[in-house]
Chain A
Amino acid sequence: MVTVIFSVMMGGCLGSGISSDDGPEQVLQSAIATETSGHSVANIDAIPQFNGEAYCVINDNIPDLTSEDADRTYFEKYASLDDLGRCGVAFACLGKETMPTEDRGEIGQVKPSGWKTAKYDYVDGKYLFNRCHLIGFQLSGENANQRNLITGTRYMNVQGMLPFENMVADYIKETGNHVLYRVTPIFDGYELVARGVQMEAFSVEDDGDGICFNVYCYNNQPGVIIDYATGDSQANENDPFLSGNETDEGTSSGEKCDYVLNTNTQKIHKPSCSSAQSMSEKNKEEYHGTKEELKKRGYTECSICNP
């Protein structure tokens, strides 16, 4: 069955956190609607266009979850694939009980809807698409569960979803508490590749004091145009959000400049960057040359100094 998303507009409102100068914190209250299963989901028509930030905030970061959704025991629920073979909602109450006790196994045998193998030199790891866990392996221990794997860009997987998974995983490890966690892939009509995923989380025992968010992660890849209906893709090296194409800040990829490299994280920094100043000497390398050459070596730009 195809997921139906009703457009229930709730009135837009821009707000901010404690200080919101440098995060991708678009607070979007209009970008929610009610899904057939009863919870609010991102309304694709009201999500702002991708603007180079991996995620945006929905409904002032308030998830459609409360402690009442859990009885402080763990569970995992994965929706059946629909008639198009697409994943639905993945919902869990995560705890130490759900976390993996073994290393991750092979998942290459799963072919999520819209799966196409495509490689681009400027994509981290080359491959455009990852088999992207809705609920990350580090949280669920779910490995090759086809109800938990979608066709997701490397960018969404690493820049969008992973930081949130890290935050939840480390919170659970530290406190032993549970976290209600729901990931909803957002498809536009009958398309096979999700436009993005909505991630909601709410910590149970402390009533959201430790973990509380509601965000939309874009299934985009800077420098690549994706046909979400089929999974086909093509290069767009003029994409302004592709590293090196920025026009108002930063330098072009081919211009020789002084950089400081972190050989551990493989990040490129301006010499004046605070991260470069605080970097461990054993990981630091001073470099004069082009970013283009560094990117060929697998380096990516620091998000703070935007070299």
Chain B
Amino acid sequence: MKVILCLDDNNGMLFNKRRQSRDRIVTEDVFSDLNGQKLKISPFSEKLFADYSQSVCVDDDFLNKADENDVCFVEDRALATFDNITEIVVYKWNRVYPADFKCDVDFEAFAMVEEYEFQGFSHEKITKQIFRKKT
């Protein structure tokens, strides 16, 4: 499966059960890459994609059910135990936020194949990185 994450400079994801940040340009970018494919999300992410309700599939067990072609937007789940992740898209906020839940992905198992920066709506510079699992 392909996983999409948003991370701060310390690989943080959440603080006090709330996402660290959001940016509508990131949301648009996520769907522009999907080409009509539904995005798999947990109930936690449902409000974030309220304007895209027809384009998401909400399921609390979405990671366990994901097959190799599914794209999962992950905010509130640990990923270290999932060995079927083939690609990771990271949107980096280039900021430090408070964090009590961090990404646990071992990036050593992945190689970065693409990286570029763009301006967000509320963030000066967002870096998009694409990682593929090393063979």
B3 at the interface (CB under 8 A from A): no
A278 at the interface (CB under 8 A from B): yes
CB within 8 Å for A167 and B15 given contacts A174-B122, A274-B108, A278-B90: yes
B16 to chain A, nearest CB (A): 4
A55 at the interface (CB under 8 A from B): yes
Bound together, the chains give a CA A302 to CA B9 distance in angstroms of 10
Contacting residue for A25 out of B9, B90, B100, B112, CB 8 A:
B100
A1-40 CB mask vs B (1 if < 8 Å, else 0) is 0000000000000001111111111000000000000000
Residues 6 to 58 of chain B near chain A (Cβ within 8 Å): 9-12, 14-18, 20-24, 47
CB-defined contacts of A265 to chain B, threshold 8 Å: 9
B133 at the interface (CB under 8 A from A): no
Residues 71 to 116 of chain B near chain A (Cβ within 8 Å): 76, 78, 90, 93, 95-103, 105-108, 110, 112, 115
CB-defined contacts of B101 to chain A, threshold 8 Å: 17-20, 23
Contact A280 B78 (CB under 8 A): no
Contact A213 B16 (CB under 8 A): yes
Bound together, the chains give a CA A79 to CA B76 distance in angstroms of 39
Of the candidates A212, A272, A278, the one having the most CB atoms from chain B within 10 angstroms of its own CB is A278
CB-defined contacts of A302 to chain B, threshold 8 Å: 10
Contact B100 A17 (CB under 8 A): yes
CB-defined contacts of A162 to chain B, threshold 8 Å: 96
A194 to chain B, nearest CB (A): 20
CB within 8 Å for A55 and B98 given contacts A167-B20, A174-B121, A274-B11: yes
Bound together, the chains give a CA A19 to CA B103 distance in angstroms of 11
CB within 8 Å for A280 and B14 given contacts A23-B102, A174-B22: no
Number of A-B pairs whose CB atoms are under 8 Å? 99
Contact B98 A209 (CB under 8 A): no
* Closest residue on chain A to residue B100 by CB atoms: A23
Bound together, the chains give a CA A251 to CA B49 distance in angstroms of 44
* Closest residue on chain B to residue A279 by CB atoms: B112
A280 to chain B, nearest CB (A): 6
* Closest residue on chain B to residue A23 by CB atoms: B100
A247 at the interface (CB under 8 A from B): no
CB within 8 Å for A272 and B18 given contacts A20-B101, A278-B90: no
A80 at the interface (CB under 8 A from B): no
A37-65 CB mask vs B (1 if < 8 Å, else 0) is 00000000000000000010100010000
A: number of interface residues (CB 8 Å): 38
CB within 8 Å for A215 and B98 given contacts A18-B17, A167-B20, A174-B24: yes
A275 at the interface (CB under 8 A from B): yes
CB within 8 Å for A280 and B100 given contacts A17-B17, A18-B17: no
B39 to chain A, nearest CB (A): 20
CB-defined contacts of B102 to chain A, threshold 8 Å: 21-23, 304
A158 to chain B, nearest CB (A): 9
Bound together, the chains give a CA A21 to CA B78 distance in angstroms of 11
Residues 187 to 238 of chain A near chain B (Cβ within 8 Å): 209-213, 215
CB-defined contacts of B112 to chain A, threshold 8 Å: 277-278
Bound together, the chains give a CA A16 to CA B16 distance in angstroms of 9
CB-defined contacts of B76 to chain A, threshold 8 Å: 18
A83-113 CB mask vs B (1 if < 8 Å, else 0) is 0000000000000000000000000000000
A161-192 CB mask vs B (1 if < 8 Å, else 0) is 01110110011011000000000000000000
Of the candidates A24, A167, A211, A304, the one having the most CB atoms from chain B within 10 angstroms of its own CB is A167
* Closest residue on chain B to residue A265 by CB atoms: B9
A95 to chain B, nearest CB (A): 14
Chain B residues engaging chain A, CB cutoff 8 angstroms = 9-12, 14-18, 20-24, 47, 76, 78, 90, 93, 95-103, 105-108, 110, 112, 115, 121-123, 127, 129, 131
Known: A20-B101, A212-B18, A213-B16; 6 extra A-B contacts, CB below 8 A, are: A55-B98, A163-B97, A166-B97, A272-B108, A277-B108, A280-B115
